[in-house]
């Protein structure tokens, strides 16, 4: 084996190298099918490759130690984090890559993986089929999948535990892919991805701690939940917390499950289903919604057909403050989330379009009641073009149970961002300013205002940020005498230049 290969296989993997390698694997599909379709293939293959390499690595160690006792080896391998039945590992598929039927073999391997791992991977791959006509006729499909297996079989993508070290490396590569797929997915990106700086902001402000139960009822690929889990570990060094989520789109739910495992978040419960029509995070009797210490989400903006027809008879009484309009489901998600907050410790952050702040009718009545119940804590205005799939500016609403006062902090962070070609970004400085302002809860000229209940009431419970934070910059007064003097000076300079130019033209034989 060449020295360079040995070096690659024994050295710790570099994050940039693995990111580049998995992104290059996408070349197999570029120009053949859309990124929105092949993202599932790439992300699933990364998951399969990782658990296969870890399993293979552990098996080889046990053979080296207990080579004369296959029964003991089998028993010990059955206790691994993931069980890989015979024929279902990446390497089994790789060995047969030149044979016909790659799509069918991969699908069979994924099904066997589900069966062997019980509830842990139940139904995770049911919406992901490599044996699809979207890859073309059988010969082309087989060739594409052979190239995919060969891309992931390269030495640079040896993902054994010894080489990878921390699970963060694989999790980060997975997040890297999801981010790039979101960038190219247009309007559909919001279905599965929240920009990392927004997740960082929410996780920091909500400050989950050891022992917390954390929920995202519209969890997409799970990145916001994962950021909250990382915040607990950062602040306390503890892994004593639990993550809960629900996601309506089957393939996105599968991404969330794989994302959890690749970040080492085994203590999770992610349900597949429509949170508004069919909430699944229920108690053992199935009669009451589970309640959480932290609830956070970036739900779809102004969702049409969200379940209005059944809301008035909701079994869980989530819409007792009023039923949101048929064509805008923003307050349906807000109402659901409020009802899942624990009475003593519950705190919540939700991303919303600005219309939520000021629209009247049923939304106005719900908004008024939430404020009168002293649940609303803070309103944060974000820059435009921050989220994939939409250029409109969004806001964050923060709610709390057991609040100490009845004031609401308004922060206008809409003008502070780093411009990007397609998306704007919040810089670390932008985020820190929001966080420090949130913690201080004091007025900041042209940036933040702490409004009393009476002030909000005087505004008919309208939360439009410019009503509270005046960012108007007065134009400097114009000194007309100075302007007149400058004009005369420029006029004289122009006359001088024209005289000089006429002289040059005369020397060249032009003019009189």
Domain boundary assignment for the chain? 3-182, 186-467, 479-512
Provide CB contacts within 8 A for 167, sequence distance 6+. 262, 263, 264
Secondary structure class of 258 (helix, strand, coil):
helix
Structure tokens at 319: 């819409």
Mean pLDDT, the chain, rounded, equals 90
CA angle 291, 297, 301 (to 5 degrees): 130
- Hey, is 270 helix, strand or coil? strand
> Over its length of 512 residues, how does the chain's per-residue pLDDT go in tens digits?
333 333 444 467 889 999 999 999 999 998 888 887 888 999 999 999 999 999 999 988 899 888 878 889 888 888 889 999 999 999 999 999 999 999 999 999 999 999 999 899 999 999 899 999 999 999 999 999 999 999 999 999 999 888 887 777 889 999 889 888 877 665 455 566 788 999 999 999 999 999 999 999 999 999 999 999 999 999 888 999 999 999 999 989 999 999 999 999 999 999 999 999 999 999 999 999 999 999 999 999 999 999 999 999 999 999 999 999 999 999 999 999 999 999 999 999 999 999 999 999 999 999 999 999 999 999 999 999 888 767 888 999 999 999 999 999 999 999 999 987 778 999 999 999 999 999 999 999 999 999 999 999 999 999 999 999 987 555 556 778 788 888 888 888 888 888 888 777 777 777 65
Report the pLDDT value the prediction gives residue 472, as an integer from 0 to 100. Answer: 58
- Evaluated on CA atoms 151, 152, 153, 159, the torsion sign reads positive
Report CA-CA distances (Å) from 392 to 186, 217, 288, 354, 355: 14, 23, 36, 9, 11
pLDDT tens-digit map of 466-503: 999 987 555 556 778 788 888 888 888 888 888 888 77
Other C-beta atoms within 10 Å of 379: how many? 25
Alpha-carbon distances, residue 80 vs 54, 117, 124, 174 (angstroms): 10, 10, 19, 22
Integer CA distances (angstroms), 168 to 41, 74, 164, 264, in order: 21, 29, 9, 8
- Give Cα 471 to chain centroid, integer Å: 30
The Cα 89–Cα 10 span in angstroms is 22
User: 3-class secondary structure for 388-419?
Assistant: CCCCCCEEEEEEECCCCCCCEEEEECCCCCEC
From residue 244, alpha-carbon distances to 104, 283, 339, 396 in Å are 33, 13, 15, 21
Q: Given 1.20.1260.30, 1.10.10.10, 2.60.40.10, 1.10.260.40, which CATH number is that of 3-182?
A: 1.20.1260.30
Q: Which two tokens stand for residue 23?
A: 């992104």
Residue 397's DSSP bridge partners are 350, 379
Read off the tokens for 289: 């919604």
Q: Which of 297, 317, 318 is nearest to 217 (CA)?
A: 297
Distances (CA, A) of 73 to 20, 84, 89, 285: 36, 14, 17, 41
pLDDT at 1: 34
Rounded CA gap, 334 and 351, in Å?
Answer: 10
User: Which pLDDT score, from 0 to 100, does residue 4 have?
Assistant: 37
Topology of 186-467 in CATH?
Rossmann fold (3.40.50)
Q: Cα(164)–Cα(9) distance, rounded to whole angstroms?
A: 10
- Could you tell me the two tokens for 270? 């992610």
pLDDT at 190: 54
């Amino acid at each position: 084996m060449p020295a360079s290969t040995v070096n690659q296989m024994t050295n710790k993997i570099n994050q940039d190298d693995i990111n580049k390698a998995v992104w290059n694997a996408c070349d197999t599909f570029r120009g053949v099918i859309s990124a929105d379709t092949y993202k599932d293939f790439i992300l699933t293959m990364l998951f399969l490759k990782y658990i296969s390499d870890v399993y293979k690595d552990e098996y080889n160690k046990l053979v080296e130690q207990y080579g004369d006792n296959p029964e003991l080896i089998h028993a010990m391998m059955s206790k691994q984090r993931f069980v890989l039945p015979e024929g279902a590992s990446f390497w089994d598929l790789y060995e047969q890559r030149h044979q016909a039927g790659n799509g069918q073999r991969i699908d069979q391997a994924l099904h066997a993986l589900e069966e062997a791992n019980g509830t842990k991977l139940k139904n995770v791959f049911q919406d992901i089929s490599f044996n699809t006509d979207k890859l073309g006729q059988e010969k082309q499909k087989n060739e594409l999948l052979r190239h995919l297996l060969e891309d992931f079989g390269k030495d640079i993508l040896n993902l054994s535990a010894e080489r990878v070290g921390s699970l963060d490396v694989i999790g980060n590569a997975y997040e890297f892919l999801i981010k790039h797929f979101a960038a190219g997915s247009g309007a559909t990106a919001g279905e599965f991805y929240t920009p990392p700086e927004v997740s960082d902001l929410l996780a920091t402000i909500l400050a989950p701690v050891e022992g917390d139960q954390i929920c995202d009822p519209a969890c997409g690929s799970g990145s916001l939940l994962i950021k909250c889990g990382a915040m607990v570990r950062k602040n306390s060094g503890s892994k004593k917390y639990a993550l809960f989520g629900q996601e309506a789109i089957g393939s996105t739910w599968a991404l969330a499950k794989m994302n959890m495992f690749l970040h080492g978040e085994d203590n999770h419960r992610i349900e597949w289903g429509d949170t508004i029509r069919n909430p699944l995070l229920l108690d053992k009797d199935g009669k009451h919604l589970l309640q959480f210490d932290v609830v956070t989400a970036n739900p779809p903006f102004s969702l049409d057909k969200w379940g209005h027809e059944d809301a008035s008879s909701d079994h869980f009484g989530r819409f007792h403050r009023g039923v949101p309009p048929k064509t805008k489901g923003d307050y349906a998600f807000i109402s659901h989330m409020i009802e899942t907050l624990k009475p003593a410790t519950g705190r919540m952050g939700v991303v919303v379009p600005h219309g939520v702040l000021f629209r009247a009718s049923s939304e106005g009545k719900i908004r008024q009641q939430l404020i009168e119940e002293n649940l609303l804590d803070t309103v944060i205005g974000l820059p435009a073009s921050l989220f994939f799939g939409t250029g409109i500016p969004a806001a964050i609403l923060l709610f709390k149970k057991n609040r100490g006062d009845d004031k609401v902090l308004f922060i206008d962070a809409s003008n502070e961002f780093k411009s990007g070609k397609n998306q704007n970004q919040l810089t670390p400085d932008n985020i820190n300013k929001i966080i420090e302002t949130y913690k201080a809860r004091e007025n900041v000229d042209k940036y933040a205002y702490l409004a009393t209940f009476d002030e909000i009431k005087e505004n008919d419970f309208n939360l439009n940020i410019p009503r509270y934070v005046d960012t108007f910059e007065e134009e400097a007064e114009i000194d007309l005498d100075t302007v007149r003097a400058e004009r005369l000076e420029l006029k004289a300079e122009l006359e001088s230049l024209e005289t000089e130019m006429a002289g040059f033209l005369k020397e060249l034989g032009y003019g009189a």
